[in-house]
Structure 1
């Protein structure tokens, strides 16, 4: 890995992104976007190897990043990560990008699969928010952002588990916004209404990628730009929810 450049931790601005996997995914795009603005990006996911590769790429481009692997459904993992963040600087942005993308017809969907989707997407979002809010509130300001999906707004087969979990996450963000907005924490939910042109979709559904054609998928870098603009919003005109979709997506 590229050796990190020494920083004055007292003045370090941190952006924490949970749900980071493939280098050609949304989590990685978010990390690169905030690193471009001078943030030290802390990336969390289950694969240490993938996190290290992303961190190395960001550092190689002159940015600052650190890998903090962990499980968003584990209180102890998240507590350990927030302790490390406290030693590194001041948390200003926290982004929850994790999801349990369970897909199965309802009569073939096991109870364990249904619960797993909820555990990562909704329960994980709650645990992440609770962990991130402590340093954000201590800082007196900040952004707490969540990745949603078409399924956040409407359910259809074979996504009963995913849709219910995403709808639950959306409701959670609304509750958090009403509770912590008055305490200067900008809570926002981003509905990604369409397929993301990343490694996951290109690997699992190459036919869908081909069918969508030009302007049929969302570019991760363009999505990340929207998150950056959300963070920059003045509090006299905060968005609690925005939706993003590719040029030729129907809605």
Structure 2
């Protein structure tokens, strides 16, 4: 059974953690990598490690996103794997939330994903090949107290992914939404010594993304949940 072959990846919302793990994994598997973020000052070491190009982009600005894809296309060719890994939130009681900050959080978590997916699909559809991967969260299936803005954005992201999968999958594009159900391990958030593997390992999450990319089109997943073995759900 022939597995899909991908050539070029774009990660939007790049930074440490999952994005870095994805960049390294894509690079090891022979893909050229492009990294995009609103702030790029901390991406130089990762770019050096993975040979990635770095691009500044405000994902909620349609002109910025269009320019990003033009720049990546000019350097690496049109990406056939696009990952949207940007999100934002403002915590607080519903009655105290600043409306403008909530709007901005929703735009980053969901509207930016729409803009990026639109540009990606326009380039993938003529070839009938490509994958759009959207990084979701528990908040996309379960709204928590004091987290209305995150629930708004992530529920919208999940709905976008489901709609896109139903529209684009029959045309050869693999759309997948990942529910990351739990905290992700990082340098600032180490795994407690008395609770091994209680946080998600970003390298392990990246391997799951890659496994989905390798699925044969006769058995595509549009959504995958990942959580630590001790996480309640």
For normalisation by structure 2, the TM-score amounts to 0.92
What is the alpha-carbon distance in structure 2 between the residues aligned to residue 102 and residue 233 of structure 1?
36
Q: For residue 220 of structure 1, what is the aligned residue in structure 2?
A: 202
Structure 2 matches for 1:181-220, cutoff 5 A? 181-199=169-187, 202=189, 210=192, 213-220=195-202
| Cα shift at 1:211 | 8.5
Deviation string, structure 1 residues 102-158 (Cα, Å, up to 9, x no partner): 222212211012111111011111111111111222332011010010101010111
- Paired position in structure 2 for 1:4: none
1:81-230 aligned within 5 A? 81-87=68-74, 88-199=76-187, 202=189, 210=192, 213-230=195-212
**What is the CA distance between 1:86 and its match in structure 2?**
1.9
Pick closer, same or farther for the CA change 1:218–1:168 going to 2, 3 Å: same
Is the contact made by 2:89 and 2:102 (CA closer than 8 Å) also made in structure 1? no
1:212–1:105: structure 2 CA closer, same or farther, 3 Å change rule? farther
Segments of 5+ residues of structure 1 without an aligned counterpart are: 1-11, 59-63
1:41-84 C-alpha deviation (Å, 9 max, x unpaired)? 111112222222210122xxxxx311112111011111111112
Q: How much is the aligned-residue C-alpha RMSD, in angstroms?
A: 1.6
Q: How many residues align?
A: 227
Decide whether aligned partners of structure 1 residues 90 and 190 sit closer, same or farther in structure 2, where only a CA change above 3 A counts: same
Q: Where is the helix percentage greater, Structure 1 or Structure 2?
A: 1
What is the DSSP-based 3-state SS (H/G/I as helix, E as strand, rest coil) of the residue aligned with 2:80?
strand
Moved over 3 A (4+): 209-212
Partner of 2:13: 19
Q: Residue 86 of structure 1 contacts residue 135 of structure 1 at CA under 8 Å; is this kept in 2? A: no
Aligned to 2:67: 80
